[in-house]
Homo-oligomer: A and B are copies of this chain.
C-alpha cells in the first residue's frame, strides 16, 4: 500500500467537536477519485489536537467510508503509552497501516526514538510508516537512524519532509537515504511543494495534503510518475506553485486546506481545532481565486 498517491485528508472540527458530515464529504471525494491509499489523522488531519476517543471515532468512520482503499492511521503522541493505546484503537478500527512520528516535548535521543519504534512494532500486527516531520515534531532523524528503524520487522515505508530543490540534489538525497534502508522499504515524499522533485528522484509514494482535498489534481502527478514521465511530473507540479506559495505564506498547509474545504462547501469556513484560527476573509478570497485559476479538483 506504500506506493502511488496516499491522500491525507483534513479532519474538520467545529466548536462542538468533529464535523463528521464534513469529514464524510471530504472522504467521498477521495473514494470517487480512487486514490491509492489514505493517511487518516495526519498532521493536516489534526491528530495532535484530538482526544483518544475522537481519534478512534474518526478512524472507525473513515474505515466505513473508504471501503477497500488501504487506510493508514497516524498514532503519534508524546508518550509511548499513549502511542500504544492509539495503535490498539487504530487496529480495532480497521487500519491497514500505522503512521508513527517521533513527537517530542523533551528533546529525544536517537536511542529513545529507536526504543519507541521497537516497542510499537512488537505490539502491532500491521505495517508501520516512519513519519519524519521535524517541522511539527521537532525531532530530526539521521539516515543512520532511518536505517536502524527500517531493520525492524513491520517498518515498510518512510515519509520524508522534503528534498533539496534541484533534481540532481534531490536524487542524491533519496539515493543516500535508500542505501541505509532495508530493501523493499519505500520512500514517500511529503511537503507537497517537493512532490515533483521527490517522485522524479525515485520516491515510490506521495504522502499528499493536496491529494487529501484535490485528489484528481494530485493523481495526475502520481500517474505521470508511475510511467516515468519526468517532464510531465515537473510541469504538473510547477503549475501548482501558487498553491505551494499559499502553504508557505500561511505557515504550512493546514490553514489553507481548511479554508479551501470551506470554499468548496464541504465544511464550515471555520473548521480548525482551537487554538488554530481560520484565515481572514481576504486570505480566503485569495485561496478561492487560486483554486479557480488552477482548476484544483
Contacts and interface: CB of A to CB of B under 8 A. Distances in A.
Interface of A: 43, 48-51, 78-82, 102-103, 105-109, 111-113, 115-116, 119, 135-136, 138, 251-252, 254, 273-277
By secondary structure, the A interface counts as loop
* Stoichiometry (number of copies): 2
8 contacts: A48-B79, A49-B105, A51-B81, A81-B273, A106-B136, A108-B275, A116-B274, A119-B274
Contact of A106 (B80, B102, B276): B276
Contact of A79 (B82, B252, B275): B275
Contacts of A276: 106, 108, 112
Given A43-B105, A105-B49, A136-B105, A79 B251 contact: no
Contacts of A109: 251, 277
A109 B275 CA distance: 9
Contacts of A273: 79-81
Contacts of A135: 107
